[in-house]
Amino acid sequence: MILAYAGVKYDDERVSGDAWAEAKTRSPMGGAPFITLENGKAYGQSLAMARYLGNVHGLGGKNAEENLLIDMVVETLNIDLLMAFMKQRGVTDEEKKAEIVKDANEKGAQWMDKLNKCVQGTDTFLGKPQTSIFEIFNAFDA
């Protein structure tokens, strides 16, 4: 999405089955996603890749404090919120599962509200003043 947003040419390799078994051997951590740069070196970890591509294509913060704010938002959504929903993995009791989802939704709403307050008045996100976290999250989730 970062490369598409930045208008950069890239190969989007989507694999499954035997093709994934082969691609896995090229992944530095053995998982997906991973990126192979023009110099042939491959790197993994989605957030590290996003941070790198954001910095390379002018979507990073303008200074260390802006990067701190960006990382705070990204880690809240992509680690804490994701983990809250992931807790339902392997849970077979439907009632317990519903409880986990309810808890994750409640936490998510609280965190979104807090993050929205933190970005008000900043122009850090996609260069737009006061762009709502909800807009960004919804755009990436679409």
Evaluate whether 47 touches 78 at the Cβ level (below 8 Å). yes
Residue 40: C-alpha distances to residues 26, 37, 57, 64 (Å) = 11, 5, 19, 29
Greatest pairwise CA separation for the chain in angstroms: 51
Nearer to ligand GSH, 24 or 57 (CB): 24
Q: How far is the CB of 88 from ligand GSH (least distance, A)?
A: 16
Residue facing ligand GSH at closest CB distance: 31
Kindly report the backbone phi and psi dihedral angles of residue 34, in degrees, each rounded to the nearest multiple of 5, phi listed first: -145, 160
Q: Which is nearer to ligand GSH, 15 or 109 (CB)?
A: 15
Q: How far is the CB of 50 from ligand GSH (least distance, A)?
A: 9
**Complex with ligand GSH: residue 10 or 20, whichever CB lies closer:** 20
- Which residues in this chain contact ligand GSH in the complex, by CB under 6 A? 24, 30-33, 44-46
> Which is nearer to ligand GSH, 49 or 69 (by Cβ)?
49
Q: How far apart are CA 35 and CA 22, in angstroms?
A: 15
CB burial of residue 133 (10 Å; 0-12, 13-18, 19+): buried
